[in-house]
């Protein structure tokens, strides 16, 4: 299952330069696409590949591309979403830092497929050094004739720009990102119209994640059918996971979808188990906004099957006993971690990052943060737990963009699976301030 497609050659020194990248097979897909394929054929290959958006929602990329409106005389834009701000997720950072040309190559091919002559990489403000890396790589690509006018004599023109954001999480939402690119406050737009119809400056636009665009390179090189053979079921291809938290070997791993979660956490090639010989308590498999899973549901599904690293298997059991693959931020908690504290920490993040445009999210995230703050610091009541559940329900589905849900899900899941621990914080106020609840075992309470 250790298969490298995106991070192929990431160990080669100098791979961030054009010369080394090119020597290792770089920009072959541009040559192939521009010289032998029509834009429609590229779209078709991506559809065949079954590639799903790597930004979090997992929407099929080819299908998204097929929605792009193509009115006459109106430019179209391809926008790369590099505003990677989800706590626990740092895969795009690694990819752009190590192999910037991979993203640029993917963007050239994708822009060709979509008919975009001006494409943007929207990068979060905190990644300023990566902006420099990308701009250097883009300059090299211009010099080599892969960007600019009449690329490889095909008549296709493409300009690629990098636009830094101001560091707001909300700008990772596609319409907020477009607003920000237009120079406005990053508030999500009302949908419909969707960006595929009315996006950047009112023109049809496609917004894709860094990893999705980088994956297009392999799809064009090997063909969509070949790519679809990698992975399992509808989760095709390889996926980058950024493992963090209490694992022995955190980092960014590329794996073929379908690897078992158990192997990923404990395998020698991967995370090498829980750090310091501790036990697994919980895991958030897809970045902070997906539901948390308690230890017994991490490696096995509720039905007792092995849980695999794939869109379907991680979501198995729905929200009752499953989670989501999300953006691949794999956060592992050991027995010493306090779930209440962690939930409060996430809630604090969402309250801080809510744009404040629509009332349920603006008021609800702040409210949840305050209630959780109280619970965590030993000032809570048992009715606060019900209150939290109720606030969750009332934010969910009532907001303009998914940030409301992203804020509500982790809290709802933490209460669902760790209610005892929340209650313990209320019933053992003093004790909860000096030690952690530990594993979710009744015995641990009976010293």
Partner 1 sequence: MVKITIDNVQVEVEEGTTILNAARKIGGEVVPPAMCYYSKLPGTGGKCRTCLVEVAAGSEKDPRPMPKLVASCSTPVMDGMVVKNKTSERVHENRGAIVEFLLINHPLDCPVCDQAGECHLQDLSYEHGAEKTRYEEERRTFDPIDIGDKIKLHMNRCILCYRCVHVADQLTDKRVHGVLNRGEHSEISTYIEKAVDNDFSGNMIDVCPVGALTDKTFRFKSRVWFLKPMEASCACDKCSGNVLLWMFGNEIYRVTARKDKYGEVEDQNGKPGWICNTCRFEKKSPENWKIIGPRTINRHSVISQGKYISPRSNSTKNISNGNK
Residues that bind partner 1 (CB under 8 A): 168, 170, 185, 190, 192, 351-360, 362-367, 370-371, 387, 394, 397-400
Query: Least distance from C-beta 366 to partner 1, angstroms?
Result: 4
Nearer to partner 1 (CB atom), residue 370 or residue 419: 370
Query: Least distance from C-beta 77 to partner 1, angstroms?
Result: 22
Q: Tell me the C-alpha distance between 241 and 244, whole Å.
A: 9
Nearer to partner 1 (CB atom), residue 266 or residue 367: 367
Nearer to partner 1 (CB atom), residue 331 or residue 371: 371
Q: Tell me the C-alpha distance between 292 and 413, whole Å.
A: 6
Nearer to partner 1 (CB atom), residue 184 or residue 229: 184
Nearer to partner 1 (CB atom), residue 33 or residue 340: 340
Query: Least distance from C-beta 384 to partner 1, angstroms?
Result: 9
Query: Least distance from C-beta 53 to partner 1, angstroms?
Result: 20
Angle between helices 339-353 and 403-427 (to 10 degrees): 150
Nearer to partner 1 (CB atom), residue 225 or residue 390: 390
Q: State the CB neighbour count (10 A cutoff) for residue 152.
A: 15
How does DSSP classify residue 444? Answer: G
Nearer to partner 1 (CB atom), residue 268 or residue 386: 386
Nearer to partner 1 (CB atom), residue 245 or residue 366: 366
Cα–Cα distances (Å) from 102 to 16, 108, 163, 382, in that order, read 9, 10, 18, 52
Q: Are 432 and 378 in contact (CB under 8 A)?
A: yes
Nearer to partner 1 (CB atom), residue 246 or residue 354: 354
With a CB cutoff of 8 Å and minimum separation 6, the contacts of 265 are 247, 271, 273, 274, 280, 283, 298, 299, 332
Q: Are 213 and 106 in contact (CB under 8 A)?
A: yes
Query: Least distance from C-beta 307 to partner 1, angstroms?
Result: 26
Q: Are 206 and 63 in contact (CB under 8 A)?
A: no
Pairing of strands 235-236, 231-232: antiparallel
Q: Tell me the C-alpha distance between 204 and 237, whole Å.
A: 28
Three-state DSSP at 156 gives coil
Query: Least distance from C-beta 362 to partner 1, angstroms?
Result: 5
Cα–Cα distances (Å) from 150 to 96, 144, 146, 222, 389, in that order, read 26, 12, 9, 25, 57
Query: Least distance from C-beta 291 to partner 1, angstroms?
Result: 18
Reported as half-sphere exposure (CB side, CA atoms, 13 A), residue 330 has a value of 27
Q: Are 153 and 110 in contact (CB under 8 A)?
A: no
Nearer to partner 1 (CB atom), residue 85 or residue 119: 85
Q: Tell me the C-alpha distance between 184 and 179, whole Å.
A: 5
Nearer to partner 1 (CB atom), residue 324 or residue 355: 355
Order of strands across the sheet that contains 205-209: 159-164, 116-123, 76-82, 205-209
Q: Tell me the C-alpha distance between 241 and 54, whole Å.
A: 10
Query: Least distance from C-beta 354 to partner 1, angstroms?
Result: 4
Query: Least distance from C-beta 24 to partner 1, angstroms?
Result: 43
Bond from prior residue into 193 cis (ω within 30 degrees of 0)? yes
Query: Least distance from C-beta 178 to partner 1, angstroms?
Result: 15
Query: Least distance from C-beta 83 to partner 1, angstroms?
Result: 15
Cα–Cα distances (Å) from 380 to 207, 351, 408, 429, 438, in that order, read 42, 19, 19, 8, 19
């Amino acid at each position: 299952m250790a298969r490298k497609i995106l991070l192929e050659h990431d160990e080669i020194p100098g791979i961030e330069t054009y010369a080394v990248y090119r020597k290792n097979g770089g920009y072959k897909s541009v040559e192939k696409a521009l010289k032998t394929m029509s834009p429609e054929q590229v779209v078709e290959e991506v559809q065949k590949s079954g590639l799903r958006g790597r930004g979090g929602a997992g929407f099929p990329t080819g299908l998204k591309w097929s929605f792009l409106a193509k009115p006459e005389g109106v430019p179209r834009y391809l926008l790369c979403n590099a505003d990677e701000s989800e706590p626990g997720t740092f895969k795009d950072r690694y990819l752009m830092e190590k192999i910037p040309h991979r993203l640029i190559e993917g963007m050239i091919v994708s822009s060709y497929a979509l008919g975009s002559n001006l494409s943007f990489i929207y990068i979060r403000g905190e990644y300023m050094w990566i902006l420099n890396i990308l701009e250097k790589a883009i300059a090299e690509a211009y010099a080599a004739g892969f960007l600019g006018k009449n690329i490889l004599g095909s008549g296709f023109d493409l300009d690629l720009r990098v636009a830094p954001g101001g560091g707001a999480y909300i700008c990772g939402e596609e319409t907020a990102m477009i607003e920000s690119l237009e120079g406005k406050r990053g508030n999500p737009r009302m949908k419909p119209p969707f960006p595929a119809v009315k996006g950047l400056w009112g023109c049809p636009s496609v917004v894709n994640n860094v990893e999705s665009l980088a994956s297009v390179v392999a799809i064009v090189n090997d063909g969509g059918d070949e790519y679809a053979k990698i992975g399992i079921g509808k989760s095709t291809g390889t996926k980058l996971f950024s493992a963090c938290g209490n694992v022995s070997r955190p980092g960014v791993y590329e794996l073929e979808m379908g690897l078992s979660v158990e192997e990923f956490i404990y395998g020698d090639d991967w995370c090498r188990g829980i750090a310091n010989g501790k036990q697994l308590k919980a895991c958030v498999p897809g970045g902070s906004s997906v539901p948390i899973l308690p230890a017994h549901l991490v490696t096995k599904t509720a039905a007792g099957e092995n849980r695999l690293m794939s869109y379907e298997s991680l979501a198995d059991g729905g929200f009752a006993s499953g989670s989501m693959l999300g953006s691949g931020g794999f956060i592992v908690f050991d027995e010493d971690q306090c779930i209440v504290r962690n939930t409060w920490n996430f809630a604090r993040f969402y309250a801080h990052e809510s744009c404040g445009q629509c009332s349920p999210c603006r008021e609800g995230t702040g409210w949840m943060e305050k209630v959780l703050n109280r619970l965590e610091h030993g000032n809570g009541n048992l009715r606060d737990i019900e209150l939290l559940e109720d606030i969750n329900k009332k934010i969910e589905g009532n907001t303009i963009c998914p940030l409301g849900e992203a804020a509500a899900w982790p809290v709802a899941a933490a209460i669902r699976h760790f209610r005892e621990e929340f209650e313990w914080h209320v019933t053992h106020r003093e004790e909860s301030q000096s030690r952690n609840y530990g594993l979710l075992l009744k015995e641990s309470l009976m010293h």
